[in-house]
Amino acid sequence: MTEIDRMLAANREWMAQFPGDLPVAPARGVAVVACMDSRMPLFGMLGLGVGEAHVIRNAGGVVTDDTLRSLAVSQHLLGTRAVVLVHHTDCGLQKASDAEFADLVESRTGHRPPWPARAFADVDADVRESMRIIAAAPYLLSAEVRGTVYEVASGLLREVV
């Protein structure tokens, strides 16, 4: 039994507490943009109920073309207008550079990746830059854009101002 088999089996327990069918548009009109980090259970951390907010996640929680595509779908097709960014302390992308990452991938696979890892040094600065890009994106309709850093050692979500 692999870890994925265990997840499929766990879903049968979830079905017992399944809250029922809900509308496709998020009830609270918010999209969360967060890092993929395994220590961030966003529904629990943010008090989100099922059906309340979109959750977009990638390595670093950085804003890429795919983030903007997802936010555009969220806003234009499904009516969200607020965006909250969730980065965090102790991120894997703070521990390597883009060049070191490309070298590592090439040494292991024989192929140099065409995209940068998007490593960063200062998490607060990265949140501010992400907020700036989203606020300036010409394809979006954001009414509120805010940024936070999750402290993985304490569980505190700190707003970046």
Residue 128 beta carbon to its own copies: minimum distance, rounded to whole angstroms: 16
Footprint of its own copies on 72-101 (CB under 8 A): 72-74, 76-78, 82, 84, 90-93, 95-96, 101
**With respect to its own copies, which residue has the nearer C-beta, 15 or 121?**
15
- Tell whether residue 133 is a contact of its own copies (CB under 8 A): no
Q: What DSSP state is assigned to residue 150?
A: E
Residue 84 beta carbon to its own copies: minimum distance, rounded to whole angstroms: 5
Q: How far apart, in whole angstroms, are the C-alpha atoms of residue 96 and residue 108? A: 16
- Tell whether residue 18 is a contact of its own copies (CB under 8 A): yes
Residue 125 beta carbon to its own copies: minimum distance, rounded to whole angstroms: 19
Is the distance from CB of 148 to CB of 158 less than 8 angstroms? yes
Footprint of its own copies on 102-121 (CB under 8 A): 104-105, 108-111, 113-118
- Tell whether residue 66 is a contact of its own copies (CB under 8 A): yes
> For residue 53, what are the CA distances in angstroms to 50, 57, 85, 158?
8, 13, 13, 19
Q: Using the CB atoms, write b or e for 99-114: b if 16+ within 10 Å.
A: eebbeeeeeeeeeeee
- Tell whether residue 50 is a contact of its own copies (CB under 8 A): yes
Backbone torsions φ then ψ of 149, nearest 5 degrees: -125, 125
